[in-house]
Amino acid sequence: MKTLSTLFKNNIREYGMLIALIAIMLFFQFQTGGILFKPVNITNLVLQNSYVITMALGMLLIIVSGWIDLSVGSVVAVVGSLAGVLIVRYNVDWVVTVVICLLVGAAIGAFQGYWIAYLKIPAFIVTLAGMLVFRGLTFVLLQGESVGPFPVGFQKISSGFIPDIFNYPGFHMTTMVIGVLLSAVLIVLDMRARKNQQKYGFEVTPVYFSVIKNVAITAAVLGLCYLMASYKGIPDVLVLLFVLITGYAFITSTTTIGRRIYAMGGNEKAARLSGVNTPRLLFYTFVNMGVLAALAGLIVAARLNSATPNAGDGMELDVIAACFIGGASASGGIGTVIGAVVGAFMIGVLNNGMSIVGLGIDWQKVVKGVVLLVAVLFDVYNKNKNV
Amino acid sequence: MSDVILEMRNITKIFPGVKALDNVSFSVRQGEIHALVGENGAGKSTLMKVLSGVYPHGSYSGEIYFQGKECKFQDIHHSEEVGLVIIHQELALIPFLSIAENMFLGNERAKNGVIDWNESFSKTKELLDRVGLHELPSTLITNMGVGKQQLVEIAKALAKKVKLLILDEPTASLNDNDSEKLLDLLLQFKAHGISSILISHKLSEVNKVADSITILRDGTTIETLDCQKDKITEDRIIRGMVGRDLIHRFPPRDSKIGETIFEIRDWNVYHPLHEDRKVSNNINITVRKGEVVGISGLMGAGRTELAMSIFGRAYGTRISGTAYKNGREINISTIDKAISNGIAYATEDRKAYGLVLIREIKDNITLANLEAISDGGVVINEPKEMTVTSEYRDKLNIKCSSIRQLAVNLSGGNQQKVVLSKWLFADPEILILDEPTRGIDVGAKYEIYTIINRLASEGKGIIFISSELPEILGICDRIYVMRDGKIVGEMPASQASQEIIMKHIMTEQEVMA
């Protein structure tokens, strides 16, 4: 059996990240005089970061593949403006518009992916071009002005909450029930995984560690649900995020597709000579990114309730930073979905906390840059120590 | 003793948990070529790093005397100043700079930071003449072959007024012709009073040029043999290296050869960049069940190119020809089709093409056949994966702390076993092995040969590509000889000898045995 300290050493990246996130949250909770953990602010935190997290999922796959996508901020803008033009100017039904926009996102991804995967142009160049092209097209579509407002149904994409079936006054009971159910499911899954590991004779963590872990997770889930239940309940966007995060975590960690992406990023030639169709895999990685960027574009447009030419400006940097803070390697082959999500939250909490404290946008950028550097330094230091 | 140029006394170097060098003493006489041999991990490179100051004074214990004076090198510049230059296995040349620029890199012929190009070029020309390399000083490194690059490195050492030249496996990636030239150059230097230390796995060349041989094993000096007094045989050296008599360098096997399992006919391949250059010219090859077929030839003869073009057109353009398995034509136009038709290719360059070094051993073993350990071909069944890969670890004797260890942390021999495991797990019927024993030590080579024998006895067809003639002769049933993209000879191993194969390689007319 492993001792706690070796366990910690082997997973120092994951635990270090979480501890840093919690420390930052506590710091701002203190600095803001308790505003950070107010129910309304926690809900806001989720809503504000939903698009960064959505795109971080796609970006992680691209970074693990060994490439980068600089165009996502512009894709957010062009898809948002397309939605605005279709819905507001041409009165297209918003559901139809959402479907069209996601397809357009896929097409954008396919276009860029084709240049990168089959014509072998470096992604940095292709997506830098894409960044300019799609930002330009946004201005063309919107003719330089904002388009809005959107119908209520569309707005609900980012501002809707799950319905409460209990109608308990002042408290969103459904949210709490979901929290309890989710905690129970997580505990059962963890116990089953443990049993499985024991059955096959693999090393398992000590029982007390497992108990501590489950108590901590349950407390976090219930605490979060309680806070959100005290406001308006679980936002629709959070449900969407939950589905996406679990889905992508599953794909990357336990499917053949995920395994092949990591192999491709680790050594493209070796993967190809092992029968992995690397051009096709890379192509679809970019298609996937296009769809997720389009989804993020819709969420942004719905949240602003208008399509503006500058939507998503600079967002690619937050998304990329989230992946690197979360432990992804710039040379490919390394990185996890959970890491990227924690990285995105880190950036989100920093943005949110610093705004509440009243730190100017100028210094906010400085702080974010330093955090990115320190996180990567931490990685490099750890890597050298382990060799 | 006045004729001793270098003396290292009682060198001990400890890494966390490992004693890499244990009280090693080593001395080189003025004007001799001193070979340093030993298995991988015996401590040869560590000893040379101590000598050249890569590990600075103080990080080891013991004393170094060079030309009678005690030396306490702090870094590599320090040791170069006194005339001690080391040339590493991986060449340290900048590919997109010219020979002249590389020659004086860090040591530029300059006044006040402005480079004097006339002087640089004329000095470079002089140095190139001394090593017998006839290239313009303005030639870019990237446009030269490895053999010539090696000569540039040596010329660079001369520019530093070298007194003792250390070469770490200088011929590992050279063909026989270039190796020969390089060794002659060492002999020439010797005549001019420059001493050399030669680290090499190739015992034949050690035997050819060395005046003395020091054998290291497990971080200690075993013995120093004087080649001038008595004739030293290769077997004698090997005995010192492995600590026992290796009676059989190749495991015995009795071949049970069956029907033809694989055949390629009229195979033509063109170079991917120089599109009018044929790299495989009208090649016909057959492999039978249980047979090990060798492909011999010099580096650049087109062996790897042929193998990779067969393996799903992984190399070359305008490929034409047909492939047959068990008499039926098969489609091997992409790598996954080749794999699903039962063909596997284990590359000569395991780090660049064979392994995903930053991933775990188990991930590497299952990469070519992920479907076999997944539910529904999509969701990986981890317990199954662990069980399967553990089996291969035991069967091929991969030395590792865990099957989850990263491939990058394995020794060369064990990495090669991981590559082999990957292809064995893909369960091929025809296995192409490209230089499977390159850069691995005698013991691990023997294990690889044993695995090959076992596969053959299971009825698989094996194509074995190697530059080492003894190895080809030792384990193959039948041998093809390649030159300039053509098959220029074919013979049963029983009728082959090194001389016969070399004759096929060297002579222009095509002799069929």
What is the complex's ipTM, to 2 decimals? 0.86
Q: Which of residues 446-475 of B touch A (CB under 8 A)?
A: none
- The predicted pLDDT at position A7 comes to 61
Q: Residue B179 and residue B167: Cα distance in Å, rounded?
A: 13
Whether B354 sits inside 8 A of A266 (CB atoms) is: no
**Does domain B4-242 correspond to CATH entry 3.50.50.60?**
no
Which residue type does A335 have? G
Q: Which two tokens stand for residue B491?
A: 């013979």
DSSP code at position B58: T
Q: How far is CA B374 from the centre of its chain?
A: 36
Class of domain B255-342+429-513: alpha beta
Count of domains forming chain A: 1
- Report in angstroms the alpha-carbon separations of B223 from A8, A257, B24, B37, B39: 47, 54, 11, 11, 14
> Closest Cα to residue B354, out of B343, B340, B364?
B364
Categorize the per-residue pLDDT at A138 as very low, low, confident or very high, splitting at 50, 70 and 90. very high
CATH, residue A307: 1.10.3470
CB of B39 closer than 8 Å to CB of B203: no
Q: Residue A127 and residue A111: Cα distance in Å, rounded?
A: 10
C-alpha triplet A145, A53, A356: angle, nearest 5°: 75
Whether B311 sits inside 8 A of A273 (CB atoms) is: yes
Name the strand (E) or helix (H) holding A299. Answer: helix A278-304
Q: Residue B322 and residue B70: Cα distance in Å, rounded?
A: 67
Q: Residue B237 and residue B206: Cα distance in Å, rounded?
A: 10
- What contacts A170, CB < 8 A, 6 or more positions away? none
Percent of chain A surpassing pLDDT 90:
66
Residue A205 resides in a domain = no
Q: Residue A297 and residue A199: Cα distance in Å, rounded?
A: 46
- B18–A contact, CB cutoff 8 A: no
The domain of A327 spans 4-160+235-382
Give the mutation candidate from B18, B309, B370, B434 for the A interface (greatest A CB count, under 10 A).
Answer: B370
- The predicted pLDDT at position A206 comes to 78
CB of B440 closer than 8 Å to CB of B172: no
- B371–A contact, CB cutoff 8 A: yes
Residue A175 resides in a domain = no
Q: Residue B384 and residue B389: Cα distance in Å, rounded?
A: 9
Q: How does the average pLDDT of chain A come out, rounded? A: 90
Asked, colleague to colleague, whether B4-242 and B255-342+429-513 share their fold, the answer is yes
First-to-last CA distance in chain A? Answer: 24
- A384–B contact, CB cutoff 8 A: no
Q: Which two tokens stand for residue A208?
A: 């007390």
CB of A2 closer than 8 Å to CB of A203: yes
User: Which positions of chain B have pLDDT values less than 70?
Assistant: 1-2, 16-18, 40-41, 173, 243-248, 299, 506-513
Categorize the per-residue pLDDT at A6 as very low, low, confident or very high, splitting at 50, 70 and 90. low
How do beta strands B33-37 and B260-270 pair? Answer: unpaired
Q: Residue B51 and residue B65: Cα distance in Å, rounded?
A: 10
Residue A14 resides in a domain = yes
Domain boundaries, chain B: 4-242, 255-342+429-513, 353-427
Percent of chain B surpassing pLDDT 90:
40
Q: Residue B416 and residue B410: Cα distance in Å, rounded?
A: 9
- Report in angstroms the alpha-carbon separations of B45 from A316, B54, B223: 46, 11, 17
Which residues in chain B are contacts of A266 at CB distance < 8 A?
356-359
Whether B386 sits inside 8 A of A256 (CB atoms) is: no
Q: How far is CA B495 from the centre of its chain?
A: 28
> Closest Cα to residue B8, out of B89, B79, B90?
B79
Residue A324 resides in a domain = yes
Q: How far is B317 from chain A (nearest CA, A)?
A: 16
CB of B264 closer than 8 Å to CB of B323: yes
> Closest Cα to residue B462, out of B501, B424, B511?
B424
- Report in angstroms the alpha-carbon separations of A207 from A8, A186, A195, A203, B252: 15, 16, 12, 12, 53
- What contacts A282, CB < 8 A, 6 or more positions away? A65, A67, A113, A116, A117, A264
